Structure 1
C-alpha cells in the first residue's frame, strides 16, 4: 500500500464540497424572524456580506441565528471573530434560548422550504469548481469515499443527487450521528479494518482537524485544511509550515493525489 494514495478519503461537505453561504443566510433570516417574533425590524440582505465573512466561527447550525442576532445587536466583526463562543453563550443566556430548540427550528424551516420549493432551495447552493468531477472520478476508483459533516445527511444527499452523484446512505455521516468527526473517522477505520488502511481527511475547520490530531490512534491519518472553505487568511497562514496538517488548494484537490504533497 502506497502512502501517496488513500484507501479511504473522507471529506467534509459545507466549505469543502459545497458553498451554501447564500442558503445559510436566507434560512437563518427565516429562523430569526420565528425566534424574535416580537421585533418589528425586518432583517434585510445588507447583513449578508458580514455574515458570510463570519461563517468560519460557526461549528453547528444552531449558531447561525445567534450570529445574526449578534450582528443585529451591532457586536463588531472583530469582537465576534475573537470571542465567538463567549458571545454565543451570552446571547443564549440573555435571550433564554436552548440550542437544541434553535436547531430544530432551523431544520424545520429548511424542511418546509424544501417541501414547498425544492428547486428554489437547491438553486441557493453552488459546488466548488471541479469538486463534483473529482468525486465522480473517485467513485470509479478503488478509493473508499465518505462524507463526514455536521449537516444532516438527507440535505447532503439531495444536493449531491442534483449533481448526478447518488451516494449510498452508509457513506454519508451527518449531524444525526451526534458524534465528533474524529469518532466517525475511527469508525471508518474499523469498517475497513479487513485490509491495510490509509485514511485521508479534508476539512475546512482547523479546530476539527486539531481534534483529530490529538487522538493517539489517528496519528497516521493524513489531514488537509481546504483553503477554499470557511476559514480565514490568518488560519491558513498559521499552518503553512506544518507537516501534520497540510494546506490544500482547490487546484491541488482537483488533480491526482500526487499533487496533494
Structure 2
C-alpha cells in the first residue's frame, strides 16, 4: 500500500461549475429527441433548471428536466423528484440509456466541432485549482471520482491544467465500489462530495465508514442538505478548504 494520503474529489459541483454546459447540452439533447423548447435559449440557464440541478444524480436526468420545463411544477418535483421523473419517463416512453447516449453524442459533437466553446461553458470554482496543486506540498495525492464520462472529465481536467493521481469516471462503477478498490491499496484521507445522499450511502457501508466524508458547501446543494447532518458527514466551505489538511473537519 502506498503511504501517501489520497483525497478523493467529486468533479461537478466540487471542482467545476458546469451549469451553463449542463443546460446547453440538455437543451440540445432533448430537442434532438423531439422536445419543444422554443421558449428557451440554450445560452441562458432557466432558474427552474438551476434550482432542480441538486436533485440530479446522472447526466440523463438533465435531458428529461429540460424536456419537462414547459410544463414542470418545480415545487412538485422538489418534493417528489423520483416519482415525477418516473411519470415523465413513462409518458414520453424514454429510458435512461437512450437519454445518456444522446447527451454524450451531443457533447462529443460539441468537442469535435467547437471544442473551445464547449470548454468555456465550464468554470472552476474559485481557489480550487490552486488548492489541488498545493496538496503535493503536504505529501498528499488527489483523485477524481465522478459520474461524468471519463473521456469528458479528462478533456476538462486537461483544459484546467490538472493532473490527478487517478480518474474514475462513470464507467468505473458506483462510487462505493470504486472507493473499496481504492481503499485496498491507498490510504484514503477524505472524500469531498456535494451530494449528501452519496455521502450517506458511503457512511452506511461497513469498511467505508473510516473515510472522512466532507460535504462541499459551494456545490449543488438542496435547501435541506445542511440541516440535520449526521456526525459522519461534515460540511466544508472555501475558507476551510484552503487551509492545511490537518485543519480540515
TM-score by length of 1: 0.88
Asked whether 1:248 is paired with 2:236, we answer yes
Contact 1:28/1:106 (8 A) holds in 2:
yes
Which one has the bigger strand percentage?
2
1:247–1:101 distance in 2 versus 1, CA, 3 Å: same
Q: Secondary structure at the match of 1:7?
A: strand
Residue in 1 that maps onto 2:178: 184
List alignment gaps of at least 5 residues for structure 2.
Answer: none
Most deviating of 43-52 and 118-127: 43-52
List alignment gaps of at least 5 residues for structure 1.
Answer: 1-5
- Distance in 2, matches of 1:89 and 1:103, equals 16
Residue in 2 that maps onto 1:207: 197
1:138–1:85 distance in 2 versus 1, CA, 3 Å: same
Asked whether 1:216 is paired with 2:227, we answer no
- Distance in 2, matches of 1:206 and 1:162, equals 28
- Distance in 1, matches of 2:197 and 2:212, equals 15
Residue in 2 that maps onto 1:108: 105
Moved >2 Å (runs of 4+): 39-47, 139-142
- Distance in 2, matches of 1:256 and 1:150, equals 28
Deviations for 1:136-169, whole angstroms, at most 9, x for unmatched residues? 112454213111000111211211211221346x
Residue in 2 that maps onto 1:52: 50
Q: Secondary structure at the match of 1:199?
A: strand
State the 1:82 CA deviation: 1.1
RMSD over equivalenced CA pairs, Å: 1.8
After TM superposition, list the pairs within 5 Å mapping 1:1-261 onto structure 2.
7-36=5-34, 39=36, 41=38, 43-44=40-41, 48-73=46-71, 75-167=72-164, 171-177=166-172, 179-192=173-186, 197-239=187-229, 242-261=230-249
1:166–1:199 distance in 2 versus 1, CA, 3 Å: closer
